[in-house]
Structure 1
Amino acid sequence: MSTKHHQYRLTLEHEATTQPEQALHAPVTFSFANHDDLFAILDRVRSAQVLPAEEAASLALGVKLLGNVLLAHRHEPLFTELWQAHSEFVQKLKSHSKASAA
C-alpha cells in the first residue's frame, strides 16, 4: 500500500518533576502524517552540527510539527506572520545543513 505521506506516532512521557510532591503526567500519544521522512531530516540536522545531537532532534521535530500546523492554517490571521517567519527559518536551516554537508 503506497501513500503520499509517512505515518508517525509520537509519545511524550513525563519522566521527572521539579518538586517531589508533584505527580507525573500521564503520557500523551498522537499520530500524524508528513510528506517527509522525519528520520532522514533528524539525521541531516544532527550531522549539520548546529546544535548538540539531542537539541538538534528537538529542533528538527519541533520545526516539522509546527510546520504541519502552520501549513494547514497559513491563511488564518493568527498564523500568517508565523508562517512567513517559519518558512524563512526553514530555508536558512536547510542552507546551513547543505553547507555543513559539503
Structure 2
Amino acid sequence: MEKRNNKYQLYLKELSLKDHSEGTKELSFNFDNHDDLFQIFEVIQSKKIFNDETTGQEFALGLKLFTEVMLKNKQHPLFEDLRPAIMEFMKKLKSS
C-alpha cells in the first residue's frame, strides 16, 4: 500500500546579506510530509510558544523538515544518537 503524503513546494530567496549587499540566490524544491504543515503552523501559533508569529513559523518549518528527513532515513547512523532526544522533545512539545 502506498503511503499518502502532503506535497509542498518551498521557495527561498536571498533578500540581503549581512555585508549589506543585495541577495542574488534562490532555491526552490518540492517535498512531501506526512503532516499538514499549515495546520501545524496554526497549532504552534495558538500555543503562543514564541512571542511572534514568524519565529513560530520558522520553528515549525525547520522542525518538520528535519524530523521528516529523520523518519525517511531511520537507519542512517547520523541520527542514531539524536533520535531518542528528538522523540522526547516531540512528546514534550505535543503535550504543552
TM-score interval for Structure 1 and Structure 2 normalised by the shorter chain = 0.7 to 0.9
Counterpart CA distance in 1 for 2:62 and 2:68 is 10
Q: How far apart are 1:23 and its partner, in Å?
A: 5.1
Contact 1:38 1:61 in 2 (8 A): yes
CA apart distance, 1:74: 2.1
Please, what TM-score do these two structures have when normalized by structure 1?
A: 0.82
More helix by percentage: 1
Q: Following the alignment from structure 1 to structure 2, what is the Cα–Cα distance between the partners of residues 31 and 38?
A: 14
Identity of aligned residues (%): 33
Task: Tell me how far 1:29 sits from its aligned partner.
Answer: 0.5
Structure 2 segments unaligned to the other structure (5+ residues): none
Moved over 4 A (4+): none
- Cα displacement (A) at 1:31: 0.6
User: Residues of 2 paired with 1:85 and 1:25: CA distance?
Assistant: 37
Give the TM-score normalised by structure 2: 0.87
* Deviation of 1:65 (Å): 0.2
Aligned to 2:44: 45
Aligned residues: 93
Tell me, which stretches of 5 or more residues in structure 1 are unaligned? 97-102
